[in-house]
Amino acid sequence: MEITRQVNLGMIGGGTVGSGVYHAVQQNADLMAARLGIKINVVKVAVKAFDERRPYPIDPKVMVLDWQEVVNDPNVHIVTELVGGTGIAKTMILAALKLGKPVVTANKALISAHGPELFATAQKYGTNLYYEASVAGGIPIIKVVRESLVGNHFDSIYGIVNGTCNYILTRMKREGADYADVLKDAQRLGYAEAEPSLDVDGHDAAHKTGILASLAHGFWVDHHEIHTEGIRGITKLDIEFAAKLGYTIKLLGIVKRVAPAKATKGKGKRAAGPRIQVSVYPTLVPDSHVIASVNDVFNAVFVRGDIVGDTLYYGRGAGKDATASAVLSDLADAALDLRHDTANRVPPFVAHETKGSVLPIEETVSRYYVRLSVADRAGVIAKVAAILSTAGISIASIIQPEGHEGETVPLILMLHAAPYASLAKALKAIGKLPSVKAEPAMLRVEDFS
């Protein structure tokens, strides 16, 4: 394919993100042409319906209803898939790749679930698949991890990668409000879906965290192996107590390299490769840490490399415009790669680690915040302490809020680092104590050490 001064773009999807990309190209294609020497020109946009509601208008002359018209048009050099989901989107991307056309996508669910198959297809047909927009929207975290920090082992990655959850947690803290009330308001304002589970249960964050973990560690992380907890269980009480202790609660996607496990009896055959924790859960982070000041719908990814040390990348994690910026960056790379015939210069994924594995959540080690609802405070502390001691878990501090004598009252425990398996067992025993009146609430505490 000869690309010199112009590249023709065929778009699939003309909804929120699609029209955002279309609009951004109209607005800044000349600027990009001045910088790159290649003008991006939209020749076709496949839409669900011509009169679909979209935030930016699309020229009716380029709209079509059949996505195959876009992919198969010999005049189309690059294809964007901005449809989303793991169904037809996969068919669309595979069709374009099989024609040797590079594809740019923002589809985190699809990459997370079917990345290796898509990458293999791109390679087989001598083209590339670009997905900067799939993680953390406008934050260029894919390129940062893959190119800018290529000289680093990734000791840890902590990401606020779901704007909906961060918005809800920010407002709960700021207003002392309940989860359910803020969620309702977020839905009204369009920051949360009517069916919010993809966001609030942590699944969207898990898709993104898995992609980052895979890129950072060189083996594809199956998204079923990612331990995922959402924010539904967070109460305003927890947010208040965390604040009193100097912490802010954030939903974090966490990727940590842990020391290789020692060979255990009977498992001698399995070569010990690098083990990484990959999980998503709400976490107490110290107010003094820069990630605690990432508020509202903003995303941020904290990356610790063995050479670079601590770094952080912050921006809008979603929305038509921020996502469009990431798509434009990929389009620039795709255009340059077409011009220079370098589709394999930076492949979509390099599986360079054959022995890596994901650490089961039971084996992960963390500090913990535990909130109990107790009837008889004086009596229960000794019993709780005994259970924890038996489990080998030390108590760092106990908070007993004032008031409410005789009633059921909260009791907060901050615990030193312990494996989750030990904690879970201890919590089960604690939950069975007669004076403990509700299931213990547990949150992990991260000090970034």
Number of residues that bind a second copy (CB under 8 A): 58
How far is Cα 229 from Cα 217, in angstroms, rounded to an integer?
22
11, 18 Cβ separation under 8 angstroms: yes
What are the CA-CA distances from residue 42 to residues 25, 75, 128, 359, 430 (Å)? Answer: 8, 11, 19, 45, 62
Report the site for a second copy in 234-253 (rule: CB under 8 A).
none
- Closer to a second copy by CB, 324 or 412: give it: 324
194 is a site residue for a second copy (CB under 8 A) = no
State the binding string over 114-133 for a second copy (x if CB under 8 A, else -).
Answer: ------------------x-
325 is a site residue for a second copy (CB under 8 A) = yes
265 is a site residue for a second copy (CB under 8 A) = no
The correct pick among 311, 373, 408, 422 for binding a second copy (CB under 8 A) is 311
Catalytic residue chosen out of the listed positions 90, 108, 173, 208 = 208
How far is Cα 333 from Cα 140, in angstroms, rounded to an integer?
13
Secondary element (H or E) of residue 258: strand 247-258
Residue 61 DSSP code: G
The correct pick among 8, 15, 26, 36 for binding a second copy (CB under 8 A) is 36
Residue 350 DSSP code: -
- Closer to a second copy by CB, 91 or 344: give it: 344
Nearest-CA neighbor of 330 among 63, 84, 19, 40? Answer: 40
Q: CB 333 → a second copy: shortest distance, Å? A: 7
How far is Cα 70 from Cα 12, in angstroms, rounded to an integer?
7
Residue 347 DSSP code: -
Q: CB 304 → a second copy: shortest distance, Å? A: 10
- Closer to a second copy by CB, 198 or 338: give it: 338
Is 428 known to be catalytic?
no
How far is Cα 290 from Cα 59, in angstroms, rounded to an integer?
43
Contacting range for a second copy; rule: CB under 8 A; set: 112-120, 305-313, 362-370, 410-418:
305-313
Q: How many CB atoms lie within 10 A of CB 207?
A: 28
211 is a site residue for a second copy (CB under 8 A) = no
How far is Cα 320 from Cα 391, in angstroms, rounded to an integer?
49
- Closer to a second copy by CB, 136 or 172: give it: 136
- For every residue of 129-173, DSSP letters joined together read EE-GGGSSTTS-HHHIIIIITTT--EEEEEEE--HHHHHHHHHHH
- Which residues are bridge partners to 418 per DSSP? 366
- Closer to a second copy by CB, 56 or 420: give it: 56
333 is a site residue for a second copy (CB under 8 A) = yes
340 is a site residue for a second copy (CB under 8 A) = yes
Q: Are strands 395-399 and 409-419 parallel, antiparallel or unpaired?
A: antiparallel
What are the CA-CA distances from residue 77 to residues 4, 19, 54, 80, 134 (Å)? Answer: 12, 19, 25, 10, 21
- Closer to a second copy by CB, 88 or 308: give it: 308
8 is a site residue for a second copy (CB under 8 A) = no
The correct pick among 309, 360, 392, 431 for binding a second copy (CB under 8 A) is 309
State the binding string over 131-150 for a second copy (x if CB under 8 A, else -).
Answer: -x-----xxx--xx--xxxx
318, 297 Cβ separation under 8 angstroms: yes
How far is Cα 134 from Cα 304, in angstroms, rounded to an integer?
21
447 is a site residue for a second copy (CB under 8 A) = no
151 is a site residue for a second copy (CB under 8 A) = yes
201 is a site residue for a second copy (CB under 8 A) = no
Please name the residue ranges forming H helices in 179-269: 179-189, 197-200, 203-217, 236-244
331 is a site residue for a second copy (CB under 8 A) = yes
The correct pick among 188, 269, 352, 432 for binding a second copy (CB under 8 A) is 352
317 is a site residue for a second copy (CB under 8 A) = no
State the binding string over 275-304 for a second copy (x if CB under 8 A, else -).
Answer: ---------------x--xx---x-x----
287, 321 Cβ separation under 8 angstroms: no
- Closer to a second copy by CB, 90 or 173: give it: 173
Secondary element (H or E) of residue 33: helix 16-36
Q: CB 21 → a second copy: shortest distance, Å? A: 9
Q: CB 362 → a second copy: shortest distance, Å? A: 29
Catalytic residues, by residue number, are 208
**Which stretches of the chain bind a second copy, using CB under 8 A?**
24, 27-28, 31-32, 34-36, 132, 138-140, 143-144, 147-153, 218, 290, 293-294, 298, 300, 305-316, 319, 321-322, 324-326, 328-329, 331-333, 336, 340, 342, 345-346, 350, 352-353
